[in-house]
Amino acid sequence: MQRDLDRLMSERLLDAIIVEGPDGLGAANPAFNYFVRGAHLTGTVIKLRNQPAMLVHSDWEVLQAAETGLVCVSSSRWNMRDIMQRIPDRLAARVELRRQMLTDLGVTGRVGVYGTVQAGPFLALQRGIEAAMPGLTFVAESDKDLISAARLTKDEHEIAVMRAVGQKTCAVVQAAVDYICSGRADGAFVVDSQTGARMTIGDVRAVIDRELAARGMVGEGTIFAQGRDAGLPHARGQDTMELQRGQAIVFDIFPKDASGYYHDMTRTFAIDYATPELQQAYDDVMGAFNEVIQEFELGAPTKPYQTMVCDYFEARGHATIGKTYPIEEGYIHSLGHGLGLEVHEDFGFPSLADRGDVLVTGAVFSVEPGLYYPSKGYGVRVEDTYWCTPDGTFESLTDFPKELVIHLKGTRQ
């Protein structure tokens, strides 16, 4: 949580932090958004240890800056025109501007750097500043960095927001299911009752996108993958493909709303019926899901849960990443990941090295066991977003049924 930042800076011996907020990144700069709370602006957040965070912003964006609640510092305090008249080289001028800014704001010592940046300009600026400011060292945290550590535990406000995003996401999934079920069977296919044409994945995607937009959400990369594509975890699904009864459909949706916070959920559906093989795989996935959530315990390390799921699947004849690497079929990924201002945050249930993740109050993470058999033409994944409450229990923020088979209207059930 934000209130942990000074403690975390102290533990990491950081005198200051700089969070870059360059132009045009929006939600792709979660570290910056964590401070500016989704305001649409560019700028730089600078925080000294045990001081409130400052936002250096343009005069043009004074309204947005004021909304953030941060200490506002106008960038016009430093005169770029004067600097550029003295130093014609643009990079050298930017280094000088930044040197003046950091000096005036008291930034020195060990300084952590965060935020989403452009590789080349960022590297050039860092090299220039380190050369120009001998008393300053940039600390490049790679894993479990300060901002990620703060963001790992969500506060009450963040949970309220994430709960609402979860509810809206479930409503979108329901609308897509309702649309599919409004169709009627035509042999192996599904016919749209309004148009009389065979329903395609593109038709379903149009419903999904419309329902997302109606709720102020954006859902890039939504997966609606049928048959073999359902067996490839990151295949999005082909819009021209016609829906087919009895086929596995993996529907994985991870939208955000204007708050910048994400939800992540997956359901696997089969229209009207499932083959026995698909039903068995589904039952195995649900068995793993239900076993693992029953065992969640506050303070427990996360890696054993991945091992538990691998063991569960291995005992039922599925290859897993726990014993086979690289792996293409079976259980081929890890059990879940943190989420919040990013759909993948710095918390997980590792298959490879243990990074020391532990179930802590305030953690929000996906639980998503799956089985993948592209060579057999199917895959299964079921995913909820879970939250560890302040009293150490675990609550799903995904209030949606987990039934494999959905029935077309007018089809005998």
Contacts to a copy of itself from residues 90-109, by CB under 8 A: 90-91, 93-94
Residue 352 binds a copy of itself, judged by CB under 8 A: yes
Residue 220 binds a copy of itself, judged by CB under 8 A: yes
The 147-176 site mask, x for binding a copy of itself (CB under 8 A), equals ------------------------------
Q: Tokens 């011996």 — which residue?
A: 13
Paired strand residues for 363: 153
Cα 269 to Cα 152, 173, 241, 245, 329: the distances in Å are 32, 11, 16, 10, 20
Residue 63 or 276: the one with the smaller Cβ distance to a copy of itself is 63
Residue 235 binds a copy of itself, judged by CB under 8 A: yes
- Indicate which single residue of 100, 118, 279, 307 sits in contact with a copy of itself (rule: CB under 8 A): 118
Residue 407 binds a copy of itself, judged by CB under 8 A: no
Residue 412 binds a copy of itself, judged by CB under 8 A: no
Site for a copy of itself in 22-41 (CB under 8 A): 23-29, 31, 40-41
Residue 164 or 235: the one with the smaller Cβ distance to a copy of itself is 235
Stretch in the footprint of a copy of itself (CB under 8 A) among 168-176, 328-336, 381-389, 403-411: 328-336
Q: How far apart are CB 99 and a copy of itself at their closest, in Å?
A: 15
Residue 186 neighbours by CB distance under 10 Å: 14
Question: Residue 19, SS3?
Answer: strand
Task: Give the C-alpha separation, 277 to 273, whole Å.
Answer: 12
CA quadruple 117, 120, 121, 127: dihedral sign: positive
Three-state secondary structure of 217-247 = EECCCCEEEEHHHHHCCCCCCCCCCECECCC
Residue 73 binds a copy of itself, judged by CB under 8 A: no
Task: Give the C-alpha separation, 272 to 162, whole Å.
Answer: 33
- Indicate which single residue of 84, 207, 286, 293 sits in contact with a copy of itself (rule: CB under 8 A): 84
Q: How far apart are CB 391 and a copy of itself at their closest, in Å?
A: 31
Cα 279 to Cα 128, 188, 249, 310, 333: the distances in Å are 60, 18, 12, 19, 21
Tokens of 112: 């952590």
Residue 362 neighbours by CB distance under 10 Å: 18
The 255-294 site mask, x for binding a copy of itself (CB under 8 A), equals ----------------------------------------
Residue 240 binds a copy of itself, judged by CB under 8 A: no
Site for a copy of itself in 52-71 (CB under 8 A): 58-64
**Beta carbons of 38 and 260 less than 8 angstroms apart:** yes
- Indicate which single residue of 117, 281, 288, 309 sits in contact with a copy of itself (rule: CB under 8 A): 117
Task: Give the C-alpha separation, 148 to 38, whole Å.
Answer: 17
- Indicate which single residue of 88, 134, 187, 276 sits in contact with a copy of itself (rule: CB under 8 A): 88
Residue 57 or 267: the one with the smaller Cβ distance to a copy of itself is 57
How big is the site for a copy of itself, counted in residues (CB under 8 A)?
A: 77
Stretch in the footprint of a copy of itself (CB under 8 A) among 102-110, 214-222, 280-288, 363-371: 214-222
Q: At 366, give phi and psi (nearest 5°).
A: -85, 150
Residue 125 binds a copy of itself, judged by CB under 8 A: yes
Residue 121 or 299: the one with the smaller Cβ distance to a copy of itself is 121
Q: How far apart are CB 123 and a copy of itself at their closest, in Å?
A: 4
Site for a copy of itself in 296-325 (CB under 8 A): 325
CA-atom Rg of the chain in angstroms: 25
Site for a copy of itself in 193-212 (CB under 8 A): 209-210, 212
Choose among 377, 367, 137: nearest CA to 281. Answer: 377
Residue 120 binds a copy of itself, judged by CB under 8 A: yes
Q: Specify the DSSP element, H or E, that contains 406.
A: strand 405-406
Residue 138 or 189: the one with the smaller Cβ distance to a copy of itself is 138
- Indicate which single residue of 214, 323, 375, 410 sits in contact with a copy of itself (rule: CB under 8 A): 214
Task: Give the C-alpha separation, 334 to 324, whole Å.
Answer: 13
Tokens of 91: 């990079």
Residue 395 binds a copy of itself, judged by CB under 8 A: no
Which are the contacts of 77, defined by CB distance < 8 A and separation ≥ 6? 104
